[in-house]
Structure 1
Amino acid sequence: MDFKRITHELTGAGPYRHALFYTFPGGLRFELSEGDSPLDLMLTALHRATVIARDVFGTQDRVLVHMQRFVGASGFELRETLRELRLAGIAVPKVRAIWREADSDTDASDIGSWINCAFEVPAAKLQNLLWCALATDLSTVCPNPQCRVYLIQPASGILLHPYDDRGMDVICRDSTRLRPLYEKHHAWLLDYDRDAMERTFNPAC
């Protein structure tokens, strides 16, 4: 399976990074965290993200994961990421795709670049992956690989991006595939962007 090609074809626009809800209209944005302490925020976010992700992946036994991290010219940060992934129970398999992308904000390759890695893991590791994604902005929570995590369902073309403990974007080129999530988890939609989602999935209102 050509993992890099799959990731590039998901949106029809090649590489993607952050704020997928705003970059690719017709998606969903969920509010995940509630509570006061970092642990409460993390546990609530993990629960909601897991419920939504399991609805997307259903009974599938494999999950395609795409990870990104910006690293300096030395690439030293990758050692830290790999160590934290191992602590989270995620082993990067030998069958994988790895590629580098220049930083769109600078032309100086000596400053650093984005390292991408795409591979499949057992669906049993879904919650482990979500933990890695949601811990990004919580410095007191470990393990924390400090990388962006995208979860992909190739058959449906659905892409999940839990961008931190606060929320998760879910996009698909065929927005009708997202309607079941919109209807089932309507209460978890992010209020700030609710109007935009209503225009897509409930235009009569």
Structure 2
Amino acid sequence: MRKATVVCRDLFHGDELLVVCLQLHSNQRGDFRRIYRALGDAGIRIPAQRESWSEKTHPDDWFSEDEPEYQLYLVFEAPLSLLEPLLWCALASDFQAIRPKPRCAFFLFNLNKRLMVYPYDDRGMDVVGPGHEALSELYEAHRGWLLDYDREAMDATFAPAAGG
């Protein structure tokens, strides 16, 4: 939680708002009630100005052959003051006893820097996007925290050239 907060504060520095996209797997089209309750318990209120939609999951991916399933999406702007509660909800997903737990994926966007943060659980988060300069700054500031699984690709992209 501490590392995610530090990285996100660097990423969103100077911005007052972030764009939040929540993704939920459900067997009911448009059912966000559980999400609203859990986020409300974390002090996060969904603003009236928001976008939501659903996409039907391919039948091969349904849990039950008889019941359709959907990916539900909810997008809204949030003040930067909600960064920590949003991260808490995202990172608590794998811990059984921790509440609140909305049980959805969180994607946090800094549209000005053209970057997205995907905090997936207590193991880490991904930061992606075409904002090469901002990614390079994050790499330099926090490369000691990078996970090894794709360090080679990140080093090849952002590390200073040898002898240069």
| Other-structure match for 2:153 | 196
| Other-structure match for 1:141 | 98
Amino acid of the structure 2 residue aligned with 1:142: R
1:98 to 52, 69, 74: 52
Q: 1:147: how far off?
A: 0.7
Q: 1:112: how far off?
A: 1.0
Of Structure 1 and Structure 2, the greater strand share is in 2
Higher relative contact order (CA 8 A, sep 6+): 1
Q: 1:101: how far off?
A: 1.6
Change (3 A) 1:188 1:104: farther
Cα displacement string for residues 64-102 of structure 1 (whole angstroms, at most 9, x for unaligned residues)? 1111100113766x3222211110111111100001122
Gaps of 5+ in 2: none
| Other-structure match for 1:123 | 80
Higher Cα Rg, which structure: 2
- Percentage of matched positions with identical amino acids: 40
- Secondary structure (helix, strand or coil) at the match of 2:127 reads strand
Q: CA RMSD in A?
A: 2.0
Q: 1:59: how far off?
A: 2.5
| Other-structure match for 2:143 | 186
Amino acid of the structure 1 residue aligned with 2:17: R
Q: 1:53: how far off?
A: 0.4
Distance 2:155 2:18 in 1: 29
Gaps of 5+ in 1: 1-45
- Secondary structure (helix, strand or coil) at the match of 1:185 reads helix
Contact 2:24 2:105 in 1 (8 A): yes
TM-score norm. by structure 2 comes to 0.88
